[in-house]
Amino acid sequence: MGIPIGPARQSSAAQAAARLPVWAGLGALALLLAALLILGLACGSVRIPMPATVSILFGGAVGDPVWRDILWQLRMPRCLTAALAGSGLAVSGLLMQTLFRNPLAGPYSLGISAGATLGVALAVLAGAGAGALPGLPALARLGPQLGTAGSAVAGAAAVMLLVLAVSRRIRSNTTLLILGLMFGQIAGGLVAVLQAFSDSERLRAFTFWGFGSYAGVTWAQLPALAIATGLGILMAALSAKSLNALLLGWTYARSLGVNAGRLRAMLLASTSLLAGAVTAYCGPVAFLGLAVPHLCRGMFRTADHRVLLPACVLLGAALSLASDLACRLPGGGRTLPLNAVTALVGAPVVIAILVRRRAARDE
């Protein structure tokens, strides 16, 4: 199953004429992101008028001083977390789709998020269920030492290494995708064992974490998430030229002087860092990593990673903020699980991809 985003798809004059100018597209995405950020700061159980929201952001006076505390202490960390998580997951999905040359690759579908979840489970649920299976006691002792974030990154990297190792022996991307899903199922099974032997307090904390949320990240935790996300995106940006060469296969990339081992290691580190850090702080967030790269390709009609990377950063952040806003829509202090909202947004995109590919084959 070849990736449907190669240079051949962008070579026609008609497509070039219809292509959205890069500067205009990125500018529009930046404006959309800014608008959603202000909307996210204004909306919630306590509604802050839009003029007051803008005034607080620029240090102006407002009628109710409580609004300032709500905006800066509660909503600003949440909105920044949503933007960072969306950017990180989108870039992570783009890297994996190029690396595996598979349009359905993503941190969730290839089991990377499940590996990060297992890492977090070992850190959060360690102890009670450690003796349930051989080998778990050693892993459970390692979890608290690495911390939640470190364990999530290690879990994501472990699954990514497994998928990469298998990809050297198996050519079929469909088989590889299924194997990635199976690795995710194995990780999910281990998490279920830990949950079965865990006490109710730890189990409740882990269950709520699994719903996915941007609300739990504080100002003290935000720098660590920002550094991890920024570092992962920087590593991806440094690989943009090599990623373009990789679109035509490893042999072609090597003929252009790309160091395959170094590129593979760079993509592994970047993807694990992005997916692991976001999963650790926000829970396993589905579909953003899979859907956003396809939306960016459709918007800009290009496979050039020098365009797709900034587009994924902006659109991933914008869709993540929009999903977080949708979580708060029920009102009355209730919120929807983040994963429910991202699934409702992302699943139709995946269905459209499958239908379009099937139709293209039938023609």
Q: Write the DSSP string, 146-160.
A: HHHHHHHHHHHHHHH
Classify residue 257 by burial, with Cβ atoms within 10 Å: 0-12, 13-18, 19+: exposed
Quick check: 31 pLDDT over 70? yes
Residue pLDDT, tens place only, 316-354: 999 999 999 988 765 556 778 888 888 887 778 778 776
Task: Say which range, 99-103, 120-124, 220-224, 333-337, has the weakest mean pLDDT.
Answer: 333-337
Alpha-carbon gap, residue 60 to 56, rounded angstroms: 5
Residue 194, sorted as left (phi over 0), alpha (psi -120 to 50) or beta, turns out to be alpha
What SS3 class is residue 76?
helix
Q: Measured on CA atoms in the order 275, 280, 283, 284, is the torsion positive or negative? A: positive
pTM: 0.82
Residues 312 and 296 sit within 8 Å (Cβ to Cβ)? yes
Number of neighbouring beta carbons within 10 Å of residue 154? 21
The pLDDT of 23-50, averaged and rounded, is: 91
Q: Judge whether 67 and 304 are in contact, CB under 8 Å.
A: no
- pLDDT tier for residue 361 given thresholds of 50, 70 and 90: low
